[in-house]
């Protein structure tokens, strides 16, 4: 990778055990499932695949175990052309996500971190050269907080922090995000974690995060699109109207697409518009990585009218 080019994703790598059912069970209830499929996943891996399929040069830093799930977890990354040389092969289990998808496309997820939990600052620093040379570094919340903070501190380029799930990353490191990418629930949690004002209004949460020192904030709102704010200005991007089949990994596709466009030098608002279209495309097909579009695929159009 040449200096100041490409994307480095530092994040989780999982195998997804996807179970489909008519609806999600209530507490204490048993429902009949229809199928189970084992697919590659993990937020870091998903974001790396999404960016690579859209034409970006991507390197992934993470870890898998020594079990049979490791090859599954790496399969689409390999075919998408992601550089996997920094991925550690450790003794023990690969990360697993147990995902239940209901007929309305909504999902529930239980994650067993496996090898992801063993990512230390030392293992991240072993790839310091790649991180420093990246135009964009992407991190999430599925690795230990100290490893995530180490990756942010090593970055010389732009840093995208998708704090999902919300973990207690060092505030000084976290504030290097440009942008911070969160959904509405995560945004409120980050704001509270950093001592900001409590609010249930999406715009107020985004403005509160900007007030704490973030250079830019992107809040994803599912089928309502996204909010994007930088330099004190807030814009709304509506989402295309599509029929959702499976929302698994749509947020990761959004982040990967955002990283790809920012790496290419596109302004944040335009990159968010593109990422919303990519996220809307993925929910129309089952699975996470298998649903991601390539640069040759036609994406659903944004609705006409006021937007970013």
Catalytic residue numbers, as ranges: 252
Q: How many other C-beta atoms can be found within 10 angstroms of the C-beta atom of residue 193? A: 15
Between vectors from CA 126 to CA 120 and to CA 130, what angle results, nearest 5°? 120
Nearest to 58 by CA among 73, 76, 77, 42: 77
Contacts of 116 (CB under 8 A, 6+ apart): 12, 13, 14, 42, 62, 63, 95, 142, 143
Helix axes 43-53, 69-80, angle to 10 degrees: 20
Rg of the chain in Å (alpha carbons): 18
- Inter-residue contact 121 to 128 (CB < 8 Å): no
Q: How many other C-beta atoms can be found within 10 angstroms of the C-beta atom of residue 185? A: 12
């Amino acid at each position: 990778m040449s200096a100041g080019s490409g994307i480095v994703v530092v994040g989780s790598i999982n195998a997804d055990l996807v179970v489909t059912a008519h609806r999600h069970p209530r507490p204490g209830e048993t429902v009949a499932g229809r199928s189970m499929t084992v697919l590659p996943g993990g937020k870091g891996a998903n974001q790396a695949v999404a960016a690579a399929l859209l034409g970006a040069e991507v390197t992934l830093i993470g870890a898998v175990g020594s079990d049979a799930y490791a090859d599954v977890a790496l399969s689409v990354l390999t075919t998408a052309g992601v550089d996997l040389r920094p991925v550690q092969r450790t003794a023990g289990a690969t990360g697993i996500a147990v995902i239940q998808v209901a007929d309305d496309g909504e999902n529930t997820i239980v994650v067993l971190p496996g090898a992801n939990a063993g990512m230390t600052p030392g293992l991240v620093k072993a790839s310091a050269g790649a991180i420093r040379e990246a135009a964009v570094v992407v991190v999430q919340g599925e690795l230990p907080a100290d490893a995530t903070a180490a990756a942010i501190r090593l970055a010389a380029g732009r840093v995208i922090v998708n704090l999902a799930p919300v973990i207690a990353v060092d505030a000084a490191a976290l504030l290097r995000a440009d942008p911070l990418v969160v959904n509405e629930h995560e945004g409120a949690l980050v704001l509270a974690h950093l001592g900001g004002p409590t609010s249930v209004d999406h715009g107020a949460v985004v403005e509160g995060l900007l007030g704490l020192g973030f250079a830019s904030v992107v809040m994803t709102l599912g089928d309502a699109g996204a909010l994007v704010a930088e330099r004190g200005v807030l814009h709304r991007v509506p989402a295309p109207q599509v029929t959702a089949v499976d929302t698994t990994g749509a947020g990761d596709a959004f982040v990967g697409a955002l990283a790809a466009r920012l790496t290419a030098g596109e302004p944040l608002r335009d990159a968010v518009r593109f990422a919303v279209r990519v996220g809307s495309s993925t929910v129309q097909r089952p699975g996470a990585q298998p649903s991601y579009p390539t640069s040759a695929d036609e994406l659903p159009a944004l609705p006409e009218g006021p937007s970013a």
